Amino acid sequence: MIQIEINDPQYAQKVKIAQSLYQVIDPELFVNIIDLGLVYNIIYTDNTITIIMTLSTPHCPLGDAITSGVNNALSVHFPGHAVTVQLVWEPKWNFEMMTAEGKKLLGIA
């Protein structure tokens, strides 16, 4: 699960990016990628945004749809920024990475 430190110089921009990513829904689970805990880090500069994230499995059949969703969501709020999605497989995603809201949406206690 992503943690944005309040003393981060890009705090406001990273929070805005994270809020935009709530719009990106995993098409199989119908939960956004933030509440699923798929986003590990956000790197922001004046003209680039890099999202470091994972998928629920390395062979996720809808991975392209999710990464395209990230690009689409960020292009609305950050026009002119180059957006890169970097998929990583460590740490391996598991249900414990989900937020309380994500677990609630999936009916996990």
Instruction: Tell me the per-residue pLDDT of 29-40, one tens digit each, with 9 for 90 and over.
Output: 999 999 999 999
Report the Cα 22 to chain-centroid distance in Å. Answer: 8
Is residue 24 within 8 Å of residue 69, measured between CB atoms? Answer: yes
Q: Return the structure tokens found at 29.
A: 């689970």
What pLDDT was estimated at residue 90? Answer: 94
For residue 82, the model assigns a pLDDT of: 97
Residue 85 has pLDDT above 90, yes or no: yes
pLDDT tens track for 58-83? 888 899 999 999 999 999 999 999 99
Using the 8-state DSSP alphabet, how is residue 2 labeled? -
Query: What pLDDT is recorded for position 79?
Result: 93
CATH ID of 11-105, from 2.70.98.60, 3.40.50.300, 3.30.300.130, 3.90.1010.10 = 3.30.300.130
Say what the pLDDT of residue 1 is.
72
Report helix, strand and coil shares of the chain as percent, to nearest 5: 30, 20, 50
